[in-house]
Amino acid sequence: MIKEMIMNKWLLTNTRLIMSTELISKAGSGVMAPELVMNAILMGCMLFLALLVIVAVIRSILGPGITDRLISVNMIGTMVIAAIAILSIFLKEDYLVDVCLVYAMVSFLTVVVLAKVYTGNYMKKKEICDEDDVVQSGLRRQEALEVSRRREKKKGKEEK
């Protein structure tokens, strides 16, 4: 029974794929059932989104700063959400829309958390650097003070 079920499912998806590809091949031969055309459009949209995601991935690798990378990752999230929504309509599986909602939430949370964490770490590092500067300048001032004291002592001895 399970084999039959899986076979049916497989056939269903595959026939849809086959139908849409056949439709693309004989677009001019007068087959204009709206569902088939729509399937072709959905398929084309998903392929197009996949292409754009690849471009965005390249941007996220090249991006010079962390902000550019985050922007392109956020963009990839949006495109993947659109692709999942299209897929759920294409396969007529309603549960994939739930995945969409969760993905939207997670991609928003990613940006917020990463921005917060990075800003916090940056500020801390900056403070540590500033503290180092303060300490070093203080040390330099102390050294200068000691040198001047020694000179004064020497001068006092010489005067005696």
The binding track of 76-115 with respect to other proteins, each residue x by CB under 8 A or -, is --xx-xx--xx-xx----xx-xx-xxx-xxx-xx-xxx-x
Q: Is 135 in the site for other proteins (CB under 8 A)?
A: no
C-beta of 13: minimal distance to other proteins in Å? Answer: 9
Q: How far apart are CA 158 and CA 160, in angstroms?
A: 5
Q: How far is CA 14 from CA 8, 10, 43, 114, in A?
A: 10, 6, 13, 41
Q: How far apart are CA 28 and CA 138, in angstroms?
A: 83
C-beta of 155: minimal distance to other proteins in Å? Answer: 32
Q: How far apart are CA 61 and CA 138, in angstroms?
A: 43
Q: Is 42 in the site for other proteins (CB under 8 A)?
A: yes
Q: Is 67 in the site for other proteins (CB under 8 A)?
A: yes
Q: How far apart are CA 116 and CA 61, in angstroms?
A: 21
> CB neighbours (10 Å) of residue 16?
18
Q: Is 136 in the site for other proteins (CB under 8 A)?
A: no
C-beta of 11: minimal distance to other proteins in Å? Answer: 8
Q: How far apart are CA 88 and CA 96, in angstroms?
A: 5
Q: Is 31 in the site for other proteins (CB under 8 A)?
A: no
C-beta of 151: minimal distance to other proteins in Å? Answer: 26
Please identify, using beta-carbon distances, which residue of 55 and 147 lies nearer to other proteins: 55
Looking at residue 86, its amino acid is: I
For residue 91, the surrounding DSSP H or E stretch is: none
Residues that bind other proteins (CB under 8 A): 1-3, 5-7, 9-11, 34-35, 37-38, 41-42, 45, 48-49, 52, 55-56, 59, 65-68, 70-72, 74-75, 78-79, 81-82, 85-86, 88-89, 94-95, 97-98, 100-102, 104-106, 108-109, 111-113, 115-124
